[in-house]
């Protein structure tokens, strides 16, 4: 198992996602001889997990069952231990697309936080790209490195425990893209520029407040970035419903030159048909933050 490569069967040392039901999942470190308690009873790793196929239905000791899923960055985002605020898949999908990330991309990121975005970046840039991630909180940087090792993606990432605003990203002229999720991103913009390739690239900053966005846009402009754009991504999940619509009664068909026939049954007054449709949500999910994108143009030679 690795977060960037799929394996068929569960092995000793894997991290598996135990799916207990809607909205109820938990990550489990698979270890020979270990047990995991669930509300459906005990899962014995040696017999119930190791050697089973990912996606299998596993029966617990009380007779209830769970599914054991292969980990993905999306599942990790909804199951990871929170050490900070994190980015969720709606923003992550937009960031990945707008930063034009692909296999082989070199990316700089700060702060690493709980590693939610980092895992998604790693899956996209594997197998030949690299992520340079900077986190100034020592325990957070140590913990996330431990997780990268457990998830077998540590060969794709360098974690630096330093201040991105003071000391930058630890690399110069190598990055295709830079991502900032720190309280004062405008202080890191010049370091972002220095970390990026001479051929240019894309940068993104995530900030919850519009005052932060204004300062960051000014810094991007001062540093010569172009195409500065701020967006907010709001997800609207529609509910699928069956609704009953009345059949319209258009009266007799004037083009049909048929004499009234008493054997034809007239349409019923309140006839209706069942149709599937979607209902938009009444409330739109809350604000997470603004995403500001900009382009570093190719340096003139
Ligand atoms: C909101 S969290 C990032 C969450 C991350 N994007 C995720 O999806 O899990 C912000 C992190 O930035 C770190 N941080 C704040 N300012 C920093 C700086 N100047 N240099 C490095 N890290 C910084 C904080 O310690 C915190 O862990």
3-state secondary structure of 278: strand
C-alpha distance from residue 192 to each of 150, 179, 196, 203, 220 (Å) = 29, 8, 6, 8, 10
- How wide is the angle at C-alpha 177 spanned by C-alphas 176 and 179, nearest 5°? 160
DSSP state of 173: S
Q: What is the pLDDT of residues 263-272, one digit of tens each?
A: 656 555 568 8
For residue range 155-182, what is the model confidence (pLDDT) as tens digits? 999 999 999 999 999 999 999 999 999 9
Binding-site residues for S-adenosyl-L-methionine, in ranges, read 114-117, 135, 163, 181
pLDDT of residue 268: 56
- Report strand pairing: 15-21 vs 65-69: antiparallel
Domains of the chain, with CATH numbers? 15-71 (3.10.330.20), 75-234+285-296 (3.40.50.150)
- Cβ neighbour number for residue 246 with a 10 Å cutoff: 10
Determine the Cα–Cα distance for residues 252 and 263; give it in Å rounded to an integer.
15
From its phi and psi, is residue 43 left (phi > 0), alpha (psi between -120 and 50) or beta? beta
Sign of CA dihedral 167, 169, 175, 177: negative
Give the rounded percent of residues in the chain with a pLDDT score beyond 70.
94
For atom 27 of ligand 1, the residue with the nearest CA is: 113
Q: Tell me the β-bridge partners of 207.
A: 290
CB neighbour list of residue 191: distance below 8 Å, 6 or more residues apart: 164, 165, 167, 168, 169
Q: Is the shortest distance between the CB of 176 and ligand 1 below 6 Å?
A: no
CA separation (Å) from 262 to 221, 256, 267, 268, 283? 80, 16, 13, 15, 53
133 Cβ contact partners less than 8 Å away, ≥ 6 residues apart: 108, 109, 110, 112, 118, 144, 157, 158, 159, 160
Strand pairing class (35-38; 41-44): antiparallel
Q: Which of 144, 139, 138 is nearest to 161 (CA)?
A: 138
DSSP state of 36: E
Question: CA gyration radius for the chain?
Answer: 27
**Residue 254 Cα to ligand 1 middle (Å):** 72
Could you count the other beta carbons within 10 Å of the beta carbon of residue 93? 14
Segment 186-198 shows an average pLDDT of 98
ipTM: 0.99
110 lines ligand 1 (CB under 6 A): yes
Ligand 1 pocket test: pick from 181, 191, 192, 205 the residue with the most ligand atoms within 8 Å of its Cβ: 181
CA distance 82 to 113: 9
Assign 189 to helix, strand or coil. helix
Does the pLDDT at position 299 exceed 70? Answer: yes
CB-CB contact of 119 with 76 (8 Å): yes
| 13: alpha, beta or left? (left if phi > 0; alpha if psi -120 to 50) | left
pLDDT band, very low/low/confident/very high, at 251 (cuts 50, 70, 90): confident
Residues 4-49: tens digit of each pLDDT: 999 999 999 999 999 998 889 999 999 999 999 999 999 999 999 9
CA–CA separation, 294 and 276 (whole Å): 42
């Amino acid at each position: 198992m690795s977060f960037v490569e799929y394996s068929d069967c569960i092995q000793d040392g894997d991290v598996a996602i135990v799916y207990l039901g809607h909205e109820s999942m938990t990550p489990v470190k698979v270890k020979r001889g270990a047990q995991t308690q669930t509300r459906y009873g005990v899962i014995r790793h040696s017999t119930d997990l190791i050697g089973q196929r990912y996606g299998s239905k596993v029966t617990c000791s009380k007779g209830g069952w769970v599914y054991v899923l292969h980990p993905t960055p999306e599942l990790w985002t909804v199951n990871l231990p929170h050490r900070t605020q994190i980015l969720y898949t709606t923003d992550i999908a937009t960031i990945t697309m707008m930063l034009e990330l692909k296999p082989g991309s070199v990316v700089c990121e700060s702060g690493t936080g709980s590693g939610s975005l980092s895992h998604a970046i790693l899956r996209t840039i594997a197998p030949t790209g690299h992520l340079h991630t900077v986190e100034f909180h020592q325990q957070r940087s140590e913990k996330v490195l431990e997780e990268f090792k457990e998830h077998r993606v540590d060969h794709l990432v360098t974690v630096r425990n330093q201040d991105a605003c003071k000391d930058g990203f630890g690399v110069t002229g190598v990055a295709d893209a830079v991502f900032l999720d720190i309280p004062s991103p405008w202080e890191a913009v010049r370091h972002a520029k220095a970390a990026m390739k001479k051929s240019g690239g894309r940068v993104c900053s995530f900030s919850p407040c519009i005052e932060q966005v204004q300062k960051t846009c000014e810094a991007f402009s001062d540093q010569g970035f172009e195409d500065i754009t701020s967006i907010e991504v709001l997800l609207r999940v529609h509910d699928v419903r069956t609704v009953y619509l009345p059949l319209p009664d258009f009266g007799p068909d004037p083009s049909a030159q048929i004499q009234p026939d008493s054997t034809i049954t007239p349409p019923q007054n309140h006839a209706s048909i069942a149709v599937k449709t979607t209902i938009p949500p009444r409330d739109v999910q809350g604000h997470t933050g603004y995403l500001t994108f900009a382009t570093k143009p190719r340096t003139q030679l």
